[in-house]
Amino acid sequence: MASTPASTKLSAAVAAPVAAAPRVRRWRTWRGRRRLGGQVLFYLGVLVVLLIALFPFYWILRTSLESNAEFVQGVGSTNGLVPAHLTLSSYIDDFTQLHFLTPLLNSAIVAFGTTVVTIVVASLAGYALARLPIRGGGAILTFVLLAGFFPVLAMVGPLFLLYRDLGLLDNIYPLIITYLVYTLPLSTWLLRNFFAQIPKELEEAALVDGASRLQTLRKVVIPVSIPAVFTAGILSFILAWNDFAFALSFLDSPSKFTAPLAIVVFGQSQFETYFNRIDAAVVVITIPIAILVLIAQRRIVSGLTAGSLKG
Amino acid sequence: MATIELDHVTKVYPNKNQAVSELSLDVADGEFMVLVGPSGCGKTTALRMVAGLEEISGGTVRIGGRVVNDLTPKERDVAMVFQNYALYPHMTVGENIGFSLKLRHLDKAEINRRVQEAGQTLGLESMLNVKPASLSGGQRQRVAMGRALVREPAAFLMDEPLSNLDAKLRVQMRAEVSRIQRRLGVATLYVTHDQTEAMTMGDRVAVLAHGVLQQCEPPQTLYDHPANLFVAAFIGSPAMNIYQGEMEADGGEMAVRLGDHRIVIPPSQQEARPALGGYRGRQLAVGIRPEHLAVGHELPDNPSIIPAEIDLLESLGAEVIVHFRIKADHIRPEGAVPEGEDQTMPLTIGAGVSDKTAPGVARVDPRVQLKVGETVTLVPDTDHLQFFDLETGAAISS
């Protein structure tokens, strides 16, 4: 017992130089210097990539905060990386004069609608493909994946004719069906692959515990697959939210426009192009996506770590 | 509370692979029935057919007297513990245990009460609010048990629930599972490949090989009176020594020849197995358990001694396992001893060993001084010899 304090003191004395050694050595030795140099280069590289990636975003944000008069003058000595006068006038114009709220709502309806239908249908289809002994399941899966890569513009023409005959043009709800053409294959494929990895015993345990097949899917399989469900949801949402080609082709009245379509119209004056208003609208439509990705990121990480179950 | 009855249950997979053949088994109310056999013998398939996770190709399964062949797992009212626990990773321990009750729309207070009770039984009270990911293997195993026992089901089904635990924990949980089962008094079908589990836990043990039931008896009966060569070789660790022998044709004294050695069969055996007389002049299989072989140096006054060479000594403290070789023909029923658990040594050990030697095992008192490589004498306790027909493998018991 008496020797305990002495031995801890000794171990502390031994431990201290060992811990300090690498820090001292880093710039004194060749190897340490080379490693330090490598790290500096690495972070410089990261910085360059970040600048290239973020600069367009920054420039959009910067332009959106400029007054129209200053924008017309262009970038000058007083008006550089940061505008001379920051103003929210283009945002106010967007929502007051140009009624940007309506296209935003239209986009939200279409994007949420697409996401919800995609998740429901793709989980059911993905689960069936993952678990049922379907003849030619592999072929179905390959076809599903191929369908997801069908060129968008090749689809516009036929669908336009179809919607015209069915009287579905100039209506935002048929857009949801259109987007499903692209979101369903990808999501079905993604979810099927995730479901196939879930141990079968987990579902069997739920069945024995008294769950129906559908309850098993809803209460066990999907909660366990949250990372995949969120990924599929985000991809679907972004695809619908960002679409321009289908909206441009199928919508006619400004009151039916989705946000990307409306933004194009903002700039169309007979004499001027209001880039600051366009950029303000772009900032606005980027925010939901950014928030969504940030929320989902946390969910995806926590979902993955909670997955382990075998001892 | 109910019984489980399997009546000529058969499972044939679409690829014509017959996993279970005409299995008939009755588990009485409150009975702990262990289904044991080597891997791939169909024991898990049989269990899954009772649970409703596998279609039944033929025969009937009754739980509590009710035919359940076409019922979903939900309608069968059985609880199952899986080998890898299959805990729901997104739910807390409490939610895992209470899931089945929630599915049955019991009210919250009742669910809570029963979850707490199950938690107390299994020593999980302090962990009810954590996720399974942060639990140790033993704790997860308890949660899996809790999920089963909270239901108060008609029957328990357990599929190798202890095989993922480390050795020490397995011994501990073995006792605990038995204790809980006895307290609840629910008919239990327990699948394992570990014959120690089978012997220590089961009220009765059913031995399965290639989808066919070999024998179903209380553990001691199984050990003392195996019905055939497979059961004889499978039950017991170290395994029974089985050699090919020939009954001597003539003379009043009945004796069996193992290679060069002659073993006299005592009158007690002849009385117990009158059919042995019919094997005079014929080949048969002779078995003797490791504890029924005395190992020594001197030549005792006994007509049935066998010289043997010691291959390996394994000291377990309370006893020593002696691996030896004798001049005889060895019999080892296919699949009876799992790979890696074979107690016998490869034939290459020791120079000058003829190809007619057979391995064997004896368990002796550690006070007997033995050395590897020396030649000793084995004295079989002939009252405990077992005899089997070579063609059918069946025990010669009458």
pLDDT at A27: 66
pLDDT in tens, B285-321: 999 999 999 888 877 677 778 889 999 999 998 999 9
pLDDT in tens, A284-301: 999 988 888 888 777 665
Give the nearest partner residue to A306 out of B86, B131, B137, using CB atoms.
B131
Which residue of chain A comes nearest to B80, CA vs CA?
Answer: A208
Task: Name which of B193, B221, B192, B217 is nearest B205 in CA terms.
Answer: B217
What does the alpha-carbon distance between residue B211 and residue B49 come to, in Å, rounded to a whole number?
Answer: 13
Residues 6+ apart with CB under 8 A from B137: A311, B164, B165, B166, B169
Q: By the CB < 8 Å criterion, does A205 face chain B?
A: yes
Element (H, E) at A289: helix A275-305
Q: By the CB < 8 Å criterion, does A304 face chain B?
A: no
Which residues of chain A have a CB within 8 Å of the CB of B141?
A: 311
Which residues of chain A have a CB within 8 Å of the CB of B145?
A: none
Cβ B83–A207 below 8 Å, yes or no? no
Place of tokens 């700039």: A267
Task: Name which of B287, B289, B283, B257 is nearest B390 in CA terms.
Answer: B283
pLDDT at B214: 93
Give the phi and the psi of residue A85 in degrees, each rounded to 5.
-125, 120
- Give the pTM: 0.76
Measured in angstroms, the CA of B119 and the nearest CA of chain A are apart by 18
Cβ A207–B90 below 8 Å, yes or no? no
pLDDT in tens, B110-167: 999 999 999 988 888 899 999 988 888 888 988 998 999 898 899 999 999 998 888 8
From the number of C-beta atoms within 10 Å of its C-beta (0-12, 13-18, 19+), residue A258 rates as buried
Measured in angstroms, the CA of B382 and the nearest CA of chain A are apart by 47
In the chain, the amino acid numbered A16 is A
Q: By the CB < 8 Å criterion, does A302 face chain B?
A: no
Cβ B151–A199 below 8 Å, yes or no? no
CB B38 within 8 A of CB B209: yes
Give the nearest partner residue to A211 out of B83, B85, B103, using CB atoms.
B103
In the chain, the amino acid numbered B187 is A
Which residues of chain A have a CB within 8 Å of the CB of B118?
A: none
CA-CA-CA-CA dihedral for A209, A210, A214, A216, to nearest 10: 0
Interface test with A, best of B75, B103, B166 (most A CBs within 10 A): B103
pLDDT in tens, B241-263: 999 998 887 767 788 988 778 88
pLDDT in tens, B75-96: 999 999 998 889 998 899 999 9
Give the nearest partner residue to A208 out of B79, B88, B164, using CB atoms.
B79
**ipTM > 0.85, yes or no:** no
Q: By the CB < 8 Å criterion, does A139 face chain B?
A: no
Cβ A211–B74 below 8 Å, yes or no? yes
**Beta strands B357-364 and B386-388, pairing class:** unpaired
Peptide bond into B238 cis (omega under 30): yes
Task: Name which of B92, B272, B297, B47 is nearest A201 in CA terms.
Answer: B47
pLDDT at B350: 35
The residues with which B156 forms a beta bridge, in sequence order, are: B79, B188
CATH number, domain A98-310: 1.10.3720.10
Annotated domain spans of chain A: 98-310
From the number of C-beta atoms within 10 Å of its C-beta (0-12, 13-18, 19+), residue B394 rates as exposed
How far is residue A53 from each of residues A45, A220, B288, B323, measured CA to CA in Å? Answer: 12, 40, 80, 73
